[in-house]
């Protein structure tokens, strides 16, 4: 397909200019670069073309790549996710945007029963990405604030990615688009334009491999395993604890499925204590799976109970005061870590 001549949109020009990039701009750059690199990559979703997306990630994409590669869809998540699967069967690499990941539930059937099982059934791989904003803290209420990872974590055949930095967001999204498996890509909206997360990114092409965790901070008193926005709250908590001579090691999972068991076991063997922090609700959250894997693979290294800091078991409240209680905070992490360090 030919691409009309058009100027590069502002949100995908920072790296080329050597300027710091926000989390949102890193996502936009990844999409732009992969579309420019591979003509089989195309985008589809609600309001991503003319409007440029609810968060303006794809502003200017339609003018540059044209309507065959930036496709505005009806409000039918199950329908356009199924259409993306058909396109992937034909050799294309679709990237589906959910306006908010809360709205992925109508596509649960096609994702779990059809897309995830495709290669297992001999129908071939389905190289496609479903991406969109997740997470609370923005007073969006129960329909615009959820974390959806555990609804799909139990589904063999899917990969789940949840970055915490601009560098990782760009590199992981590029890796996801190039992967031959279907990938769910969660983007915490609270990180999109956070000024403290701006980074100068490499001007050359790079990817961050799926399935590999990252040690954010070294420590020996206890390990925090976390991901997404909770990485930054955990770092803030660790800095406070360091004033009490409690040095916390922090591991950012980055990819939830497949999970980097080796990195988790390595940090637990080093510190002997594990605290799992995630924004998702408590019951059935990923903390339970991580704790079970540690029990199976590193039990003899534990010097204390495995603990978790999570959201409470409730829908996300509209009220700001209630949402602050609902979400795990820095003080919650500090309290749990302090208890565990002294155990």
Residues with active-site annotation: 144
Enumerate the H helices of 255-318 as residue ranges: 261-271, 286-298
First to last CA, the chain: 62
| Helices then strands, each counted (H, E), the chain | 11, 12
253 class by beta-carbon count within 10 Å (0-12 exposed, 13-18 middle, 19+ buried): buried
CB contact burial 160-190 (16+ within 10 A = b; e otherwise): bbbbbbbbbbbbbbbbbbbbebbbbbbbbbb
Enumerate the H helices of 100-154 as residue ranges: 108-109, 149-152
Contacts of 167 (CB under 8 A, 6+ apart): 26, 199, 201, 208
3-state class of 277 per DSSP?
Answer: strand
> Tell me, what DSSP letter sits at residue 214?
E
- Point out which residues pair with 129 in neighbouring strands: 95, 183
């Amino acid at each position: 397909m030919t691409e009309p001549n058009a100027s590069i949109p502002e949100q995908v020009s920072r790296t080329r200019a050597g300027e710091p990039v926000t989390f949102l701009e890193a996502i936009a750059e990844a999409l732009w670069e992969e579309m420019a690199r591979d003509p089989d990559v195309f985008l589809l979703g609600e309001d991503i073309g003319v409007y440029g997306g609810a968060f303006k990630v794809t502003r200017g994409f339609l003018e540059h790549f044209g309507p065959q590669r930036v496709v505005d869809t009806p409000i039918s998540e199950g329908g356009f996710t199924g259409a993306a699967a058909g396109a992937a069967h034909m050799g294309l690499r679709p990237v589906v945007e959910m306006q908010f990941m809360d709205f992925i539930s109508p596509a649960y059937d096609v994702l779990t029963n059809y897309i995830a099982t495709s290669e297992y059934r001999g129908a071939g791989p389905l190289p496609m990405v479903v991406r969109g904003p997740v997470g609370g803290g923005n007073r969006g209420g129960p329909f615009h604030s959820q974390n959806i990872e555990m609804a799909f974590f139990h589904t063999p055949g899917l990969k789940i990615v949840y970055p915490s930095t601009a560098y990782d967001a760009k590199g992981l999204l590029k890796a996801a688009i190039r992967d031959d498996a279907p990938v769910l890509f969660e983007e915490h909206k609270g990180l999109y334009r956070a000024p403290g997360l701006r980074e100068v990114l490499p001007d050359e092409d790079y990817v961050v491999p799926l399935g590999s965790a990252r040690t954010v901070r070294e420590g020996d008193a206890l390990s925090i395993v976390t991901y997404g926005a909770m990485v930054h709250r955990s770092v803030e908590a660790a800095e406070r604890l360091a004033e009490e001579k409690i040095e916390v090691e922090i591991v950012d999972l980055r990819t939830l499925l497949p999970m980097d068991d080796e990195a988790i076991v390595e940090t637990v063997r080093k510190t002997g204590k594990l605290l799992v922090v995630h924004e998702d609700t408590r019951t059935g959250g990923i903390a339970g799976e991580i704790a079970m894997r540690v029990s199976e693979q590193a039990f003899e290294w534990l010097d204390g109970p495995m603990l978790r800091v999570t959201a409470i078991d409730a829908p996300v409240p509209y009220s700001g005061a209630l949402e602050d209680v609902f979400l795990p905070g820095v003080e919650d992490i500090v309290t749990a870590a302090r208890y565990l360090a002294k155990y």
